[in-house]
């Protein structure tokens, strides 16, 4: 079971979008807080990233720590935080305001390779339900910076190149291809970050460590593979090859919640997604996430979401 893929699928709420902007000096772009993860790739030229700096009233943010992005650099802001990008020839701010469905606004087409273009920035936007972000996603740092000069995985580089080609050429079928490539690029970015060797960093603790731990990782795989099974701490400990007490303590320390609490949270997260994406009856969904009766499922769901599952489904579909 690929837990990383499941984590992304669980928090995705809408259609991703991408845009490539050909820019001339002076230029500055600002994104305000949203419910979307966003990544930027410097295809040409360079840029300065200002995390958490929206710059009210058109003023350049003065206290933000600048992060220099060189050609080929990739930066991911996973938590929807406000930020700004600017060139080095002064700043002429332009606010990037998404349309109601969360898609990046259309950018006038410009041939990237003409004279006078100082930078080409490709941006991918992935709508997420950050209110129920998986702990694995929630523990990501505010900014993930993958520097080209330190080496970008070939797979990620190839996916970025394909995405850039589709945006530039916009041939028949490009819209569906771009949506798939955005998911691919996001997963490649996260994989590249998690697989890096960083002693003493975030990778040595929390969820990243839990996935690498043979015992806790085995239990997590079991939960994600078959969430509907009647798991108990004893059964999960058997999957891990540890005693009940040792397993429960190690799982809680690494994951941040006891085994059964995490199992219930994951079941409810899956149930929320199924209610919006599947037309199956409530009883069927209840069984898929491990509840023998619709009543028991509805009670657990309302305790977690604060709303009955039927009403949650009805309201959610009104927004789709």
Confidence of residue 61 (pLDDT cuts 50, 70, 90): very low
Q: Of 18-27, 65-74, 84-93, 234-243, which has the strongest mean pLDDT?
A: 234-243
What would the two tokens of residue 160 be?
């970025």
pLDDT single digits (tens) 146-184: 999 888 889 999 999 999 998 888 788 888 888 889 989
Task: Please state the rounded mean pLDDT for residues 183-195.
Answer: 88
Provide DSSP, 167-201: HHH--TTHHHHHHHHHHHHHHHHHHHHHTS--TTS
Provide DSSP, 102-140: SPPPP-----TTSTT--EEEEEEEEEB-GGG--HHHHTS
266 close to 229: Cβ distance less than 8 angstroms:
no
pLDDT at res. 170: 76
pLDDT at res. 251: 95
Q: Looking at domain 3-194, which CATH architecture does it have?
A: Sandwich (2.60)
- Upper half-sphere CA count for residue 137 (Cβ side, 13 Å): 26
In this structure, what are the phi and psi dihedrals at residue 53, rounded to the nearest 5 degrees? -125, 100
What are the boundaries of each domain within the chain? Answer: 3-194, 213-319
Per the listing, tokens 């030229």 go with 45
pTM of the model: 0.80
Alpha-carbon distances, residue 307 vs 11, 247, 264, 298, 311 (angstroms): 19, 34, 16, 9, 7
Alpha carbon distance 285, 287 (integer Å)? 5
Alpha-carbon distances, residue 143 vs 8, 172, 286 (angstroms): 17, 34, 38
Establish whether domains 3-194 and 213-319 are of one fold. no
Strand locations in the chain (E): 17-23, 28-31, 36-44, 47-51, 67-69, 74-77, 83-86, 93-96, 119-127, 144-146
Homologous superfamily of the 213-319 domain (CATH) = Homeodomain-like (1.10.10.60)
Residue 13 CB neighbour total at 10 angstroms = 19
pLDDT single digits (tens) 273-319: 899 888 899 999 999 999 999 999 999 999 999 999 999 988 876 55
pLDDT at res. 41: 96
């Amino acid at each position: 079971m690929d837990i990383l893929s499941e984590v992304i699928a669980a928090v995705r709420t809408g259609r991703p979008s991408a845009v490539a902007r050909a820019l001339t000096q002076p230029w500055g772009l600002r994104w305000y807080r949203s419910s979307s993860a966003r990544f930027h790739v410097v295809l040409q030229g360079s840029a300065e990233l200002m995390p958490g700096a929206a710059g009210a009233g058109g003023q350049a943010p003065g206290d933000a720590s600048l992060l220099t992005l060189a050609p080929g650099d990739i930066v991911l802001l996973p938590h929807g935080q406000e930020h700004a990008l600017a060139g080095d020839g002064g700043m002429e701010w332009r606010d990037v305001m998404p349309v109601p469905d969360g898609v990046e606004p259309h950018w006038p087409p410009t041939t990237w390779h003409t004279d006078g273009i100082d930078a080409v920035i490709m941006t991918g936007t992935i709508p997420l339900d950050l209110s129920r972000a998986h702990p694995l996603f929630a523990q990501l740092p505010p900014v993930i910076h993958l520097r080209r000069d330190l080496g970008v995985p070939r797979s990620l580089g190839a996916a970025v190149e394909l995405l850039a080609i589709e945006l530039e050429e916009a041939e028949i079928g490009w819209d569906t291809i771009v949506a798939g490539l955005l998911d691919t690029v996001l997963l490649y970015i996260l994989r590249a970050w998690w697989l890096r060797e960083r002693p003493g960093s975030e990778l040595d603790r929390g969820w990243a460590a839990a996935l690498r731990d043979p015992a806790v990782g085995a239990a997590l795989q079991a939960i994600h593979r078959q969430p509907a099974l009647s798991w108990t701490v004893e059964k999960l400990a058997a999957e891990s090859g540890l005693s009940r007490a040792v397993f429960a303590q190690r799982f809680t320390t690494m994951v941040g919640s006891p085994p059964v609490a995490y199992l219930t949270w994951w079941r409810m997260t899956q149930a929320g997604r199924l209610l919006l994406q599947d037309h199956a009856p409530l009883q069927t969904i209840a069984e898929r996430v491990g509840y023998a009766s619709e009543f028991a499922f509805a009670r657990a769901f309302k305790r977690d979401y604060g709303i009955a599952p039927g009403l949650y489904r009805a309201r959610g579909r009104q927004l789709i």
